[in-house]
């Protein structure tokens, strides 16, 4: 049922890339941990209202790119600007206007969702009564209103993920960075969150989305960027990428990141188990 958006999204994506100002801009972005290079020169230009799917194998540098963009890792080389501001010098101003949902469900789980969201809201210097109202409404929409005042230690991964999503969006950011935002969610919540992402983009928000689940990326992204070993190896709409190989994104991904022949590896795996 999300397919109708795809064709529409393609058009808006292409149009916006030509006409609107860029929201995220990376030029020759490089970053190493110690002597290990992680990003080897990323060039990227994202304009408003796009949903960008940022994919790559484990250790390709996805999370590092996102951490640089949200201002958590200032010791990189090259330039990175978000909303027209340099990440190195204006990270606080950028942080006020972006939202980030990390991948590993990190939250203070001894708090209740309300307390946690109040705390996060205070860090953004939002008005406390406004946070409260907003948080309650959002929790209700995620069907967590019964749990609003229960400590999150007992929450399932999906419930935590919902709280995490709300905490990343509470201050109504202009740019949203999502790292595996669907992990742990049940099927209904997945549909809801995908729809939210789409409508956020329709409202002019820019979404930078990192995931390993290829068919979701395929369906919700206006533009797909594949990185491997710290370099961009493919960039375009799904339709554009399909020109290179008209199959699923999963197969395209495998081909581009050099992991073809998984069937053979699987056979070898079974064979080794038997020994």
Interatomic CA distance for residues 246 and 100, integer angstroms:
33
Q: Give residue for tokens 């916006």.
A: 16
125 or 146: CB nearest other proteins: 125
Question: Which of 29, 52, 55, 70 lies at the binding interface for other proteins (CB under 8 A)?
Answer: 70
| Interface positions, 116-175, toward other proteins (CB under 8 A) | 119-120, 122-125, 151
Beta bridge partners of 30: 40, 77
- CA 211, distance to chain mean position in Å, is 7
Question: Which of 110, 143, 244, 259 lies at the binding interface for other proteins (CB under 8 A)?
Answer: 110
177 or 238: CB nearest other proteins: 177
Stretch that binds other proteins, among 11-19, 108-116, 138-146, 196-204 (CB under 8 A): 108-116
* Minimum CB–partner distance for residue 100 and other proteins (Å): 4
Task: Give the closest residue to 212 by CA, choosing from 53, 83, 72, 82.
Answer: 53
Interatomic CA distance for residues 174 and 176, integer angstroms:
7
Task: Report whether 52 contacts 223 (CB < 8 A).
Answer: yes
49 or 99: CB nearest other proteins: 99
Interatomic CA distance for residues 185 and 200, integer angstroms:
19
Counting contacts by CB under 8 A, is residue 115 touching other proteins?
yes
Q: Which residues bind other proteins (CB under 8 A)?
A: 33-36, 38, 59, 67, 70-75, 92-93, 95-96, 100, 102, 104, 106-108, 110-111, 115, 119-120, 122-125, 151
């Amino acid at each position: 049922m999300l397919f109708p958006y795809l064709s529409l999204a393609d058009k808006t994506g292409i149009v916006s890339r030509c006409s609107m100002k860029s929201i995220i801009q990376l030029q020759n972005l490089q970053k190493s941990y110690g002597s290990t290079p992680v990003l080897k020169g990323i060039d990227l230009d994202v304009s408003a209202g796009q949903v960008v799917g940022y994919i790559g194998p484990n250790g390709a540098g996805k999370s590092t790119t996102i951490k640089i963009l949200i201002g958590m890792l200032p010791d990189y080389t090259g330039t990175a600007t978000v909303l027209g501001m340099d990440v190195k010098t204006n990270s606080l101003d950028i942080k006020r206007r972006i939202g980030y949902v990390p991948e590993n469900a990190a939250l203070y789980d001894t708090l209740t969702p309300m307390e946690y969201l109040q705390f996060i809201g205070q860090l953004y210097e939002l008005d406390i009564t406004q946070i409260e109202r907003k948080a309650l409404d959002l929790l209700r929409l995620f069907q967590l209103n019964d749990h609003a005042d229960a400590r999150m230690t007992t929450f399932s991964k999906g419930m935590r993920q919902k709280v995490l999503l709300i905490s990343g969006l509470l201050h109504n950011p202009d740019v949203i960075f999502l790292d595996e935002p669907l992990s742990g969610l049940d099927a209904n919540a997945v549909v809801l969150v995908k729809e939210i992402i789409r409508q956020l983009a329709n409202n002019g928000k820019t979404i930078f989305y990192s995931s390993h689940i290829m068919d979701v990326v395929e369906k919700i992204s206006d533009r797909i960027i594949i990185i491997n070993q710290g370099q961009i190896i493919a960039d375009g709409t799904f339709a554009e990428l399909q020109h290179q190989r008209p199959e699923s994104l999963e197969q395209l991904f495998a081909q581009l990141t050099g992991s073809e022949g998984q069937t053979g590896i699987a056979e070898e795996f079974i064979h080794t188990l038997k020994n």
